């Protein structure tokens, strides 16, 4: 079927890389893999960082105008060429969907959302306009794909148990991270390029360097490493951004050969680094799930992470890595130290991590789940229209 795709927070064509842009692209690819024709409906961003009423009013006006234009354009097409379903990725109070509900209503097609979140505490706050729009869109949705289990509680409270919520584990194309035939060769190349000791235990972190949660994660990682007496480890950090000075300051007390900064690398260079490393280390402060954690495990790399948000669904604690209590520096250090000291356990966890990604988090599995949900949404939409009542109506 023809699916109109929209990402109000960050379109898949946005020039700056992020986990959000990555997942938008993956969702489009997964739907296409299921045989659907997927087109990007709009590049309009509805994101309001500061919670300013005037900014939200302007965004709302732009969104409503864009929805009217888009609906008119679709309605001018022959019915067979119009979208049969609207799919929105990541709508919440800071980036509500002003387009999808009205276009879907105007065309009489299902409205499906992936990664919607509902925050009742924002109802009377700075983002109240965005909150109201996000809540209305959630109520209107024919189906909601939940990537972060932490979102379920508030969504269930809003919608009840009417069957519109569907689990969609975060995913990637695992084929792009298949372990190489010669790990030793990759490791030797990385050792030369980044001045790493071939016989040392390589820890790897991949994350942008931004203020707030990302910076807090880097600081927690530095504090944890300072507690580890074992001298055999080296840390390679991949990333950059506005908080790079503060991140480097967090690791200033370590010898230069213990912590190596690789800078921002192209995505196609990451699989080799994952495959050559020994442990992926990321505290994951405030992460919804964390695509780098998934990439690392797809490459056969055990991970140590803080159990924030949906991170727990990515790591099978004690089998594919370790989950530690959020913000617990001592626990994070202990988990890292345990893996540093146990090479055989690292090897076992590496194999288990790759196998679990292939089973649960591969794009093929996601494609089948998405296909089932969008097709069911079309069937339910027909039944709903025959009954004369839509979701969210009085």
Distance CA(127)–CA(17), nearest Å, equals 26
Q: Which residues of 20-55 are buried (b: 16+ CB within 10 A; e: fewer)?
A: bbbbbebbbbbbebbebebeebbebbbebeebeeee
**Do residues 216 and 306 share a domain?**
yes
**Do residues 201 and 332 share a domain?**
yes
**Do residues 246 and 303 share a domain?**
yes
Number of structural domains the chain divides into: 2
Average pLDDT of the residues in 210-222: 97
Residues 259-312 pLDDT 10s:
999 999 999 999 999 999 999 999 999 998 899 999 999 999 999 999 998 999
**Do residues 100 and 27 share a domain?**
yes
The whole domain housing 9 covers 2-171+362-387
Question: Does 209 fall in a domain?
Answer: yes
pTM of the model as a whole: 0.91
Question: Does 227 fall in a domain?
Answer: yes
**Do residues 290 and 372 share a domain?**
no
Question: Does 393 fall in a domain?
Answer: no
**Do residues 123 and 196 share a domain?**
no
Distance CA(224)–CA(219), nearest Å, equals 9
**Do residues 119 and 243 share a domain?**
no
Phi and psi at residue 37, to the nearest 5°: -90, 115
Query: Pick the residue with more confidence: 383 or 70?
Result: 70
- Domain of 92: which CATH number? 3.40.50.2000
Residue 124: the pLDDT is 86
Question: Does 81 fall in a domain?
Answer: yes
Residue 19: the pLDDT is 87
Question: Does 115 fall in a domain?
Answer: yes
**Do residues 280 and 188 share a domain?**
yes
Residue 18: the pLDDT is 85
Question: Does 15 fall in a domain?
Answer: yes
Residues 132-188 pLDDT 10s:
999 999 999 999 999 999 999 999 999 988 889 999 999 999 999 998 888 899 999
Model confidence at 325: pLDDT above 50 = yes
Question: Does 270 fall in a domain?
Answer: yes
| DSSP string of 178-246, one letter each residue | PPPS-HHHHHHHHHHHHT--TTSEEEEEE----TTHHHHHHHHHHHHHHT---TTEEEEEE--STTHHH
Residue 143: the pLDDT is 96
**Do residues 23 and 117 share a domain?**
yes
**Do residues 196 and 345 share a domain?**
yes
Residue 254: the pLDDT is 96
Question: Does 394 fall in a domain?
Answer: no
40 membership: H or E segment, kind and range: strand 37-40
Model confidence at 86: pLDDT above 70 = yes
**Do residues 11 and 88 share a domain?**
yes
**Do residues 298 and 270 share a domain?**
yes
């Amino acid at each position: 079927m023809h699916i109109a795709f929209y990402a109000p927070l960050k379109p898949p064509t946005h020039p700056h890389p992020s986990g959000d842009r990555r997942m938008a692209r993956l969702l489009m690819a997964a739907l296409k893999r299921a045989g659907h024709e997927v087109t990007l409906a709009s590049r309009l961003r509805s994101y309001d960082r500061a919670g300013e009423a005037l900014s939200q009013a302007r965004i709302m006006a732009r969104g409503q105008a864009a929805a009217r234009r888009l609906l008119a354009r679709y309605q001018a097409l022959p019915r067979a060429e119009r979208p049969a379903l609207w799919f929105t990725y990541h709508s919440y109070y800071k980036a509500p969907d002003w387009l999808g509900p009205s276009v879907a209503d105007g065309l009489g097609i299902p409205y499906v959302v992936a990664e919607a979140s509902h925050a009742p505490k924002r109802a009377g706050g700075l983002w109240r306009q965005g909150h109201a729009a996000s809540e209305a869109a959630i109520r209107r949705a024919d189906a909601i794909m939940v990537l972060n289990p932490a979102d379920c509680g508030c969504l269930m409270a809003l919608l009840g148990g009417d069957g519109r919520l569907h689990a969609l584990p975060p995913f990637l194309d695992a084929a792009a991270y298949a372990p190489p035939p010669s790990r030793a060769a990759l490791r030797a190349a990385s050792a030369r390029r980044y001045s790493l000791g071939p016989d040392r235990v390589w820890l790897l972190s991949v994350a942008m360097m931004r203020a707030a949660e990302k910076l807090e994660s880097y600081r927690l990682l530095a504090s944890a490493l300072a507690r580890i007496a074992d001298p055999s480890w080296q840390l390679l950090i991949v990333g950059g951004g506005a908080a790079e000075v503060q991140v480097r300051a967090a690791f200033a007390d370590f010898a230069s050969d213990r912590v190596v900064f690789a800078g921002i690398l192209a995505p196609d260079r990451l699989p080799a680094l994952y495959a050559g490393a020994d442990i992926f280390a990321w505290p994951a402060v405030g992460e919804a799930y964390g695509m780098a954690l998934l990439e690392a495990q797809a490459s056969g790399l055990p991970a140590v992470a803080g159990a924030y948000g949906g991170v727990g669904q990515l790591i099978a604690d004690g089998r594919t890595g370790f989950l530690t209590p959020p913000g617990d520096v001592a626990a994070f250090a202990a988990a890292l130290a345990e893996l540093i000291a146990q090479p055989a356990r690292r090897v076992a966890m590496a194999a288990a991590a790759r196998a679990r990604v292939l089973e649960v988090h591969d794009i093929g599995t996601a494609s089948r789940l998405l296909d089932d949900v969008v097709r069911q949404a079309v069937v339910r939409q027909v039944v709903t229209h025959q009954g004369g009542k839509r979701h969210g109506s009085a």
